[in-house]
Structure 1
């Protein structure tokens, strides 16, 4: 059995705590937006939680770099993780911290081999719907001429945007809101492609298993048929040698 490296052991041990921190981040991000007019203490507490979660992910990335055998190769392979860690420092906006946390959670989820594709897709859809709704509500609620004022409007807009239906009854009017719309549309198309490919792959694998089983049964039947023929030939040969010769006329007299 292959021994796990220090980096793999670290990733396995920290996977659940980081996912739990991501859930805490989601709550801290959602509370001020859903509340609409939170108190100063609530805003400060939620902001502190968001930065603590980001710090945990940044520390996790640093530890993984230190534990990697080839650090340069690790950085090249995980450049998206590095961008997600640096992103909030470039411009400390809550939306950027949201994007970076989503990227980091997604990267760690894909590293978990026990998470199946269907579970990952379902979690991604739910996460994008939730965070997309909160993000667009935070930038569109107070925008002049905006028509996304409530959480219900935001959820409905996110759902129709991700499914590329686009009824047009609700639409973002700000630049950031439109960028979010582009991201949700592209994510919806990508997830639809993943689901379609997964279903097609399942059918193909199922048909292949059926074909293999059918070939196995056919080969078994052919082998049994050959054995039966051999047995019949042997029985016929033994029966022919055991049949007495017909009695002649002289012997009968």
Structure 2
């Protein structure tokens, strides 16, 4: 019997996640802000570099404390790393926290009786917001490692944003490509996310169109007098 089917999620862990998901998402935005300042600000821009370092360190500490609480409340011990692998990934790589966007919405939805958006609109909204945040995060990460690399084609942050847009949309013009090992790892991850997000959007939009046309067909032509 697998760990996923052995026992349900403890109620204490469920309550903790519902209460902390939105504050943690806000903390992830602060982390992204601090990281952006650290990457984009000039080297001699003080005290902004010190402030950004404190902001990044403080928010990551919040993520670490949350992770420790989740491990304790889950009752899984060391198995938590394997069973809840996404929690482990976003702790080690906080720039990937936008992947938890669905859980953020679910936590918000617990406070309301009915969804404010339909199913297809929710999917497209999740995918859109996740794409924007992941694209911005990937742009920062790639720009940081590529800007001073020999033979790099990504020299400015604008180049990095253009590359992220082309990669997320699976266009891949090839005019801006990472040359460093770290940059290529980020590119591979962004390609995978881009395929998944694009598939979610196009699939939801197609399903929505089919549903609309089906309703129109069911109405039939107006009866003649």
Q: Quickly name the TM-score band, shorter chain normalised.
A: 0.7 to 0.9
Q: TM-score of the superposition, structure 2-length normalised?
A: 0.74
Hey, what does 2:173 align to over in structure 1?
167
| Change beyond 3 A, Cα 1:41–1:64 | same
Aligned to 1:19: 25
CA separation in 1, counterparts of 2:207 and 2:175?
37
Q: Could you tell me how far 1:25 is from its partner in structure 2? A: 0.6
Task: Say whether the 8 Å CA contact 1:15–1:108 is kept in structure 2.
Answer: no
Tell me: CA distance 1:46–1:103, structure 2 relative to 1, closer, same or farther (3 Å). same
What SS class does the counterpart of residue 44 from structure 1 fall into? Answer: helix
Q: Pick from 177, 197, 205: which aligns with 1:191? A: 197
More helix by share: 1
Q: Any gaps of 5 or more consecutive residues in structure 1?
A: 88-99, 215-253
Matches within 5 A, 1:52-201: 52-68=58-74, 70-71=75-76, 75=80, 76-85=82-91, 87=92, 100-107=93-100, 109-110=102-103, 112-113=105-106, 114=109, 116-201=122-207
Runs of 4+ residues deviating >6 angstroms: 207-211
Indicate whether 1:29 and 2:35 are aligned.
Answer: yes
Match of 2:11 in 1: 5
- Measure the CA separation in 2 of the matches of 1:54 and 1:105: 15
CA offsets 1:165-221 (integer angstroms, 9 cap, x no match):
22222222211112222222222111111112222333455567678x77xxxxxxx
Q: Give, in angstroms, the shift of residue 17 of structure 1.
A: 1.4
- Whether the 8 Å CA contact 2:167–2:187 is kept in 1: the answer is yes
Task: Report the CA distance between 1:72 and its aligned residue.
Answer: 5.4
Q: Structure 1-normalised TM-score?
A: 0.67
Instruction: Flag the 1:50–1:16 CA change in 2: closer, same or farther, 3 A.
Output: same
C-alpha RMSD over aligned residues: 2.9
